[in-house]
Structure 1
Amino acid sequence: MAGDLVVLPADAADLASALVAATADPDHPPVLVLDPAGGDELLRAVRRAAGAGEVGPGDLVLSTSGSTSRPRAVVRTSASWAASVQPLADLLELDPDDVVGTAGPPASTLTLHAGWHALRVGARTGGAGDRLPPAGSTVLHVVPAVLATVLDRDDHPHVRTAVVGGAGLDPRVRRRALERGWRVVEYYGAAELSFVGIACHADGSSDPEGFGPFPGVDVRVRGALLEVASPYVARSRIDATGGATPVVTDGWAGVGDVAEPLPDGRFAVLGRPGAVLSGGSTVLVAEVEHALRPHLPPGADVVVCGSPHDRLGEVVTAVVVGVADVPAALRAAARSLPSAARPRRWLAVTRVPRTGKGEPDRAAVARVAGRAR
């Protein structure tokens, strides 16, 4: 079975079309969308998983790069994506006359699914790999930073709907889109979970704040963590060794996001402890800290947190503890990290607030970093 694996490079021309073709038969050979950051290491891991029976016919393997380029992969059936085709098309009122404009890395889950979905319903798509969606787009499917950039310009005259995911949307950006006469559809999801929550806004007629469950999804908040049960959830995660960890436990799945129940079955997503969501990328602070610590002077430490950003949602902030100034060697080392994981802000402090166990109080550190802006 390992030899039957179909590999689609993430930088392949027209990746969404290639994926539609590769998954046309429900019993297609397993398909891997290989992010260049994972490279040969991830390919070997997925082949090992296929050899062990963890990946098989009908499966779609989506690779992502971690905060420090450590490879990861999510295994789902292509049927789990196909199950959401009609519900999403109905919500967006999508038809074959539409042009779905995307932007950014072609293999990012948001961009790839948007293009794949558009082609599945007979619409056209474009923009994957570019900085901005095509000017002729009627539906944008983008992260908040791209939406804000499009709104700064005046060269997308045909847009009727903006679909936004990957990070929280600033209400001011949403209002600007509504004032253009665009409908704004915000969603919450994750690579492992696919669509979870949806919120639809039109000028004069908007959903309340927060998200309602995406059609077909059951949502619960248990111990402050959001969990879902739906036909769209992936089966497992694969690590660099080829080992597979189930996504679903006792019928429910989650990715560690904190949520708050709201009236009428809606919910608010409050973020993920230990992670920064920047421009649609999830950055694990522990991985960034691990990458930076070897470059610290003796006796110093670094605490990574997120700082609010109008366009990206959050940016990574590195608080360097026990120094008067941020060492140049540390800044240089950070340049080797993937773009989303590179600290955009640096702060040198003599000490940080700590918990009763002596560990950095990350919430307090984030507040200190915010006051220092």
Structure 2
Amino acid sequence: MVEQIRTWLDGPEGVRLVVATSGSTGAPKLVALGRDAVLASVAASARRLGATGPWVLALPPTYVAGVQVLVRSLVAGHPPVWLERDGWPDGRGWFVSLVPTQLGRLLDDDEAVSALRRAHTVLLGGGPVDAALRERAGDAGVRVVATYGAAETAGGCVYDGVPLDGVAVAVGEGGRIRIAGPTLFEEYVDEPELTRRALVDGWYLTSDAGRIDEDGRLVVLGRVDDVVVTGGVNVPAVAVAARIREHPAVAEAEVLGVPDEEWGNRVVAFVVGSVPLPELRDWVAEAHPRSWAPRELVLLDHVPLLANGKPDRQALLARVGRP
């Protein structure tokens, strides 16, 4: 894979890089990225981080986050380090990209924490980043930068709520996030109608909802379809999951909406831990309206993950109604 990326970087103009979306909410799409878009992302990331160096690959190289690790390392003049094969680097000043679930589990491992302290920066993306997780990392001496982006934006293009140089972010109708700039993709391969709906007047219309806070930073609220409409109430699943993860008896949690004949949809919590549903509902209601509290609890040994480290929603939904 490294040689393929190296060949692509050194090859003729016009050859596109094709990566798949995660497929966390359905069939994955094939995203065509031009070399200029990928290199614009690499350069803007290096400027924001204030340094370059070797990168550690801890994500699948077939998804955009993993591809970017390879490209950033090669552009910086370093062969990438494959965590699974090579382990953590001995030196300091290297970089790594992780998803929140990975970081949470690594922070429970003393050897991994010791390694992550030696990193220049841990880029954390691919899903909501809870404040409690950032605090745990900070207390452990690990420098984390939360990123937001997609395959369609050549990876993370907003760092800690601030767009990278050249990237524009706006919040449109219904809170939908829009992104413009030099890192945008060219098309969905063989999906002209889908491309037309996603790329409008130079903007990429994401499937995420957000707002701009008082400091001008982007706050990502979750996917547009993460808002569960139950009994006429709009419940932001991401906010509920974040609250559940704060419970002392909960190790991991995800929240999804499931079709329901009475409520339209019902809020279901998928939890790694030991907490009864009434206690969980009271816990959520202490911080949010009681109408946001889950109506069903599914206890898990672990949250199933896709190959890229994101929660596997389809696998979670398949657990509803099962012992």
TM-score range, shorter chain: 0.5 to 0.7
Amino acid of the structure 1 residue aligned with 2:103: L
The CA distance in 2 between the partners of 1:312 and 1:190, in whole Å, is 24
Stretches of structure 2 lacking an aligned partner (at least 5 in a row): 229-236, 246-250, 263-303
Give the direction of change, closer, same or farther, for the CA distance of 1:20–1:320 in structure 2 (3 Å limit). farther
Is residue 85 of structure 2 the alignment partner of residue 145 of structure 1?
Answer: no
Deviation at 1:99, TM superposition (A): 3.6
Give the direction of change, closer, same or farther, for the CA distance of 1:118–1:316 in structure 2 (3 Å limit). farther
The CA distance in 2 between the partners of 1:113 and 1:219, in whole Å, is 21
The CA distance in 1 between the partners of 2:253 and 2:185, in whole Å, is 26
Amino acid of the structure 1 residue aligned with 2:46: A
Partner of 1:362: none
The CA distance in 1 between the partners of 2:147 and 2:49, in whole Å, is 12
Task: Give me the TM-score of the superposition, normalised by structure 2.
Answer: 0.66
Give the direction of change, closer, same or farther, for the CA distance of 1:257–1:69 in structure 2 (3 Å limit). closer
Which of the two has greater helix per residue? Answer: 2
Larger Rg: 1
Deviation at 1:165, TM superposition (A): 0.6
Deviation at 1:19, TM superposition (A): 1.2
Secondary structure of the 1:160 match is strand
Q: Deviations over 1:3-36 (max 9, x none)?
A: xxxxxxxxxxxx2442122231351xxxxxxxxx
The CA distance in 1 between the partners of 2:181 and 2:211, in whole Å, is 19
Stretches of structure 1 lacking an aligned partner (at least 5 in a row): 1-14, 28-56, 200-210, 277-284, 286-304, 323-334, 349-373
Give the direction of change, closer, same or farther, for the CA distance of 1:116–1:71 in structure 2 (3 Å limit). same
Give the direction of change, closer, same or farther, for the CA distance of 1:229–1:317 in structure 2 (3 Å limit). closer
Amino acid of the structure 1 residue aligned with 2:63: S
Which among 97, 112, 129 is matched to residue 169 of structure 1?
129
Give the direction of change, closer, same or farther, for the CA distance of 1:217–1:71 in structure 2 (3 Å limit). closer
Which among 40, 43, 58 is matched to residue 83 of structure 1?
40
Deviation at 1:142, TM superposition (A): 0.7
Partner of 1:220: 170
Deviation at 1:144, TM superposition (A): 0.9
Deviation at 1:143, TM superposition (A): 0.6
Partner of 1:237: 188
The CA distance in 2 between the partners of 1:343 and 1:187, in whole Å, is 25
Aligned length, in residue pairs: 251
Is residue 300 of structure 2 the alignment partner of residue 343 of structure 1?
Answer: no
Amino acid of the structure 1 residue aligned with 2:187: S
Which among 59, 64, 72 is matched to residue 117 of structure 1?
72
Percentage identity across paired residues of the two chains: 27
Q: Deviations over 1:317-342 (max 9, x none)?
A: 656769xxxxxxxxxxxx9x997120
The CA distance in 2 between the partners of 1:79 and 1:133, in whole Å, is 32
Let me know the Cα RMSD of the aligned residues. 3.5
Q: Deviations over 1:112-132 (max 9, x none)?
A: 21222121112342236x499
